[in-house]
């Protein structure tokens, strides 16, 4: 062998696949499931959870918005804008609270039936 040349090596690789145990999930819309009692309950719980979480987040935002109005900005022209934004933040919070309540009542009625 020549001293200046590098030795070549042969590498053998093997691969195997376990296709029997590997499955992929696919999302599909099953209209017949949505019309069943468990499907309706799942749908109501999802609407209920959305309204409940939105209520909590809007309540936090409304409280922070209202507490950010200080005496220092009373003479500023943005005072009316800040108070209006706080008012509408609490209005939206009240709407989400009502939606949460009515969704909860609807969910409880569907569970009983």
Q: What is the pLDDT of residues 2-13, one digit of tens each?
A: 566 667 777 777
Mean pLDDT of the chain: 79
**Does the pLDDT value for residue 91 go beyond 90?**
yes
Give strand ranges (E) for the chain: none
What's this model's pTM, rounded to 2 decimal places?
0.57
| Rounded-to-integer distance, Cα 53 and Cα 51, Å | 6
pLDDT of residue 92: 93
Dump pLDDT digits (tens) for 41-75: 777 788 788 888 999 999 999 999 888 887 776 66
Indicate the pLDDT class of residue 90, thresholds 50, 70 and 90: very high
**H or E segment at 64?**
helix 37-67
Q: Where are the alpha helices (DSSP H) in the chain?
A: 31-34, 37-67, 79-112
Dmax over CA atoms of the chain, in Å, equals 93
Q: Is residue 65 within 8 Å of residue 106, measured between CB atoms?
A: no
**Whole-angstrom Cα distance, residue 96 to residue 91?**
9
């Amino acid at each position: 062998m020549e001293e200046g040349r590098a030795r070549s090596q042969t590498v053998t690789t093997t691969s195997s696949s376990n296709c029997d145990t590997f499955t992929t999930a696919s999302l599909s819309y099953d209209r017949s499931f949505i019309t069943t009692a468990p499907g309706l309950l799942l749908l109501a719980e999802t609407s209920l959870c959305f309204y409940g979480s939105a209520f909590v987040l809007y309540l936090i935002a409304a409280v922070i918005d209202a507490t950010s109005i200080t005496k220092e900005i009373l003479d500023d022209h943005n005072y009316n804008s800040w108070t209006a934004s706080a008012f509408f933040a609490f209005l939206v919070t009240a709407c989400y609270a009502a939606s949460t309540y009515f969704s909860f009542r609807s969910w409880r009625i569907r569970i009983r039936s």
